[in-house]
Amino acid sequence: MKVSLRRCESYETEGLLRALQSLLEPLGGIEAYIQPGMRVLVKPNMIGAAGPERAVVTHPTLVRVVVRMIKEAGGFPVLGDNPGFHTTEEALRRIYRACGYEAIAEEEKIPLLTKEGWDWVSVPNPYVLERIPMAKGMRDVDAVINLPKLKTHGLTGYSGAVKNLYGVMAGLSKAQHHAIFPKRNDFADMLLDIQRTVHPVLHIMDGILAMEGAGPTAGTPRWANFLAASPNPYALDAVCVELAGLPAHEMLTVQRSITRGLLGPHLQNIIILGDSLEACRCARPFLPAVKSRNIIVSQLRKWAVAVVPKPLRTALRDWPLFDYAACKGCGDCQRTCPPGAIAMGEDHRPKVDYSRCISCFCCQEMCRHKAISIGRRRVWPTRP
């Protein structure tokens, strides 16, 4: 398993092109993955409408440079992603526009995937997911290049190469699959199933301007100043988690990759090419999306959550917590909640029925006003 690293401190186009060329050179260059005439899906992280300064989506300049490199190699790029919360083709176009991707498609004269609907795609030898409702157009390509963004994530701990492929699932069916797989391990296995089916030829991590804290949408932008690439997404994620100083034992997709035998523990069998780990390591660890625990506390907590009585379990679990001072009453959280646990009150405030909540944190992910955090609920009365 090979992962190439390259320090890179800005999104200036020419500098970024040189950085990407030297990043891919130890892996054989982009020509090792793209043959002339191939139709290639470029899959950024486009979780929602956000400008590049917020570090929510893959930087448009990185997307543009990769598109040019594919063209240079004789391929035909197609740009596309499918965020979980859009209902019409026009809404999807608005998101592409806000992220700067529509302009890339126009200027580089390449197709943008905007069609509504999906095609069913079977998962070979599935762990948990037998077929994927894949967004229209995504399967009609010869190869996929995955462009994840380095971010923390409320549910999975970290949003990297494996998690970014959840975007191939058509729109609102993503929320439904949170409800189908409410257990964290099953959800992570579903992500592994998607990765094994889509099987991108190459993954390039946008780790230049990253996000820490309340990711994947409400965290704080943070310069991490590196690019990472690999044909192996499990190795790439393990290395990026290490560089960000995030606790690997709490990063769900990394842990499940190890459990499923797709990856060895402790960066075992991973060969680092290009710049060294030390040259790219972040000066201080990323703030996690949810307060981090050491490995022993984390394991004890998992065990305790499974066996203790329900009231105590409630105290141990993480829940969405609402800040009504920041809430604008838009109702996005209510519309996105997979099990329908949120109702909007007459005062236009969301009210959660915690007995139905599966702690998927889709609401926190979708709230544009940073009005939802993740934490413990008080389950005993306060003193008068």
Binding residues vs ligand SF4 (CB under 6 A): 320, 322, 327-333, 337-339, 341-342, 350, 352, 357-363, 367, 369, 371-372
**Cβ atoms within 10 A of the Cβ of 140, count?**
12
Alpha helices, DSSP H, located in 181-232:
184-198
Tokens of 246: 């995030």
Spatial contact of 42 and 147, defined as CB atoms under 8 Å apart:
yes
Tell the smallest beta-carbon distance from residue 173 to ligand SF4 (Å).
15
For residues 15 and 339, which CB has a smaller minimum distance to ligand SF4 in the complex?
339
User: At its nearest, how many Å lie between ligand SF4 and the CB of residue 321?
Assistant: 10
Query: Any long-range contacts for 125-130 (C-beta under 8 Å, 24+ apart)?
Result: 125/196, 126/193, 127/189, 127/190, 127/192, 127/193, 127/260, 128/181, 128/186, 128/189, 128/190, 128/193, 129/177, 129/181, 129/189, 129/190, 129/193, 129/194
Cα distances (angstroms) measured from residue 359 to each of 181, 202, 363: 11, 32, 9
CB atoms within 10 A of CB 230: 26
Nearer to ligand SF4, 124 or 345 (CB): 345
Q: Which is nearer to ligand SF4, 6 or 178 (CB)?
A: 178
Cis peptide before 350 (omega within 30 of 0): no
CA atoms within 13 A on the CB side of 264: 7
Minimum CB separation of residue 75 from ligand SF4 in Å reads: 39
**Smallest separation, CB 370 to ligand SF4 (Å):** 8
Q: How far apart are CA 325 and CA 374, in angstroms?
A: 16
Cβ nearer to ligand SF4, comparing 126 with 329: 329
DSSP state of 112: B
Nearest residue (CB) to ligand SF4, 205 versus 337: 337
Is the CB of 266 or the CB of 356 nearer to ligand SF4? 356
State the angle between helix axes of 184-198 and 173-180 in degrees (0 to 180), rounded to the nearest 10. Answer: 130
Closest distance to ligand SF4 from the beta carbon of 324 (Å): 8
The residue (of 128 and 344) whose beta carbon lies closer to ligand SF4 is 344
CB of 376 to ligand SF4, least distance (A): 14
Smallest distance from the beta carbon of 10 to ligand SF4, in angstroms? 33
